[in-house]
Structure 1
Amino acid sequence: HFHSPPPRAWKKIFRQLILLALGILGLLRFGLPVLRHLEVLLPMGVCPLARMPLLRDNFSGPLDPGAQPEVLTCTSWGAPIIWDGTFDPDVAQQEAVQRNLTVGLTVFAVGRYLEKYLERFLETAEQHFMVGQRVVYYVFTERPAAVPRVPLGPGRRLRVERVARERRWQDLSMARMRAASGARFVLCIDVDQHFSGAFGPEALAESVAQLHAWHYRWPRRLLPFERDARSAAALGPGEGDFYYHAAVFGGSVAALRRLTAHCARGLRRDRARGLEARWHDESHLNKFFWLHKPAKLLSPEFCWSPEIGRRAEIRRPRLLRAPKEYALLRS
């Protein structure tokens, strides 16, 4: 006969199960590497079949969502998620040339970030970023004379803008949008990374958001949105589509001005209340993209963190994050 465990044994088993569940949740949530490889078991969903014939990119023409069947290749509002193989890079290049585009790339290099990252950032951008297109690099720094003189290809220019190191984020971002007003599309990219693969016109659209490499497979309830209802960046239960990385975002100058103004208002409001969102300007950026859906999403290939390890769906990383060294760089 089967004999059930005594009540004390049941309590012990129950406690162990609770601890195991909490341990797994904690490891997953706080990014410890021990369970990172299990994230690939979390489904991303599939692009609705009804949308597939209609899914078009503003540069690459019809897209092929089936080229990456194991990942999500479009959103519920019909925006494409750009993965390797889902677009034709030659068509994207030709379309950009026909439109006679100038693409802006803005980057902040203040404090020790200038010496440590900027030269490699610019050198690798010359190898991989919008190759064959007209590009203006807008470098914002408090020390213009220290900006390295990297050789640039034809039709590519470097503009250095002086900023005060301690100015507020919204002031810097507004200055960035004023300076970049000569470009048709602008991408805003963090300096502490380097290009490692072709980063071309397929990344351009009216508004562009980047799927965060550390969170793109997480269920929505675990995403690190700001949840303090007092904050202007707060998202309530059930709100938020994806978690977007502030290390890469872009769009038209007009769209980026709207994003910048939204984030600036939110930051000012929080500061007046003595608050700061959990992930600072990134939290406000996520609130903006929840309210104003991006026209295009970039897959984690376009801003990958090598610390995560290998993933089958990350076929060709385009931009690689450097390991975090906050203590050294901000001292």
Structure 2
Amino acid sequence: METALTRLVGVRHPIVQTGMGWVAGPRLVSATAEAGALGILASATMTLDQLRSAVREVKSRTDAPFGVNLRADAGDARDRVRVIIKEGVRVASFALAPSKELIAELKDAGVVVIPSIGARRHAEKVAAWGADAVVVQGGEGGGHTGEVATTVLLPQVVDAVDIPVIAAGGFYDGRGLVAALAYGAAGVAMGTRFLLTSDSTVPDPVKARYLAATVKDITVTTRVDGLPHRMLRTELVASLEKSGRAASLARAVRHAAAFRRISGLSWLRMARDGLAMKHGKDLTWSQVLLAANTPMMLKSAMVDGRPDLGVMASGQVAGLLEDVPSCAELIGRIMREAGETTERLRGLAAPQPQS
């Protein structure tokens, strides 16, 4: 299936595996790329050396195109951009809108720039700055999310910009891919569906918690980092929502210290990143401090296998997922379903025989 997305990035199928922190590592990304979709390596929780090593590991596993997800507000964002340029990465994706200058630097080096956005005005802004495509995530999506459903947000953005639009939030099968294409999208991006594959390094007991969830077991809370965050409803999340402000801030300080040790960042660099985040999202200092919760609480579940100590970001589609296929099996199935759905729709449009 050829679309504006497949032509832009050089993949066979219009499917993107999103850059999930602690989840989208070299194994998942390379398996996705080998299966013909676009894998995105998550770099926010990596040091520069770890990022360089991860990129090289993906390249040792596959010759197919892949991307790296970057935090545009990170103090070392430009250093990370230089790494992916030097290493020949095909795509740079961003969770927040990158600056006009950062987009220009990447494009001058031949890197495709694909920011993720959650509002029409953000899509218009990055398109005007030269972004090559955008990922549009509706409120159904996992992790940090907005209030507008994909079925409302997607056509808004498709009508507003003239660059390829990739739909995210609520997609997991071939029917969804065809629906997104019908809206005018050039493909779909999926996180939770790829998290629940055999190529994902998330521990099996954690995957089992996702598979057991119903759509009512997925909630949005602000008590992890002060921002709306979609995740599985667990005993820990319930306790966080009941905890007071002082306990929340104390927990955030502990997690900030732990993330500093893992990331190798200095307190000064973390303070600068926090300042950039504060201005970029108009947050209070309490919210900036709470944001230190996110990487460490995700790591507890996604790496350490301790959902009792961590949180599990999740799209609402987790309540519909029942298996853990390989990336190759998943992508093959989605494309078969998309073909069958397209044929069925063609049948609906066929002329009826005269009586």
Structure showing the higher strand proportion among its residues: 1
Give the alignment's TM-score, normalised by structure 2. Answer: 0.27
Point out the structure with the larger helix share. Answer: 2
Larger radius of gyration: 1
